[in-house]
Amino acid sequence: MEVVVGVAVALTLIGVTSRWLRRRPGVPWSWQTSQSVAAGLHRRMHRALDRTRRTVALARRRGVATAHYEGLCDELTTTARALDDQLVLAAKLPFTARHKALLGLRYRIVELEGVADRVGRAALEAASPLMSSVDESLRDIKQRLDLHGEARDELREFGL
Q: What residue segments make up the domains of the chain, in order of their start?
A: 35-128, 131-160
Amino acid present at 120: G
- DSSP letter for 57, please: H
| pLDDT of the residue at 158 | 81
Q: In the predicted model, is pLDDT for residue 72 greater than 70?
A: yes
Interior angle at CA 111, CA 50 and CA 61, nearest 5: 30
Q: How far apart, in whole angstroms, are the C-alpha atoms of residue 155 and residue 158? A: 5
pTM for the model stands at 0.66
Q: In the predicted model, is pLDDT for residue 23 greater than 60?
A: no
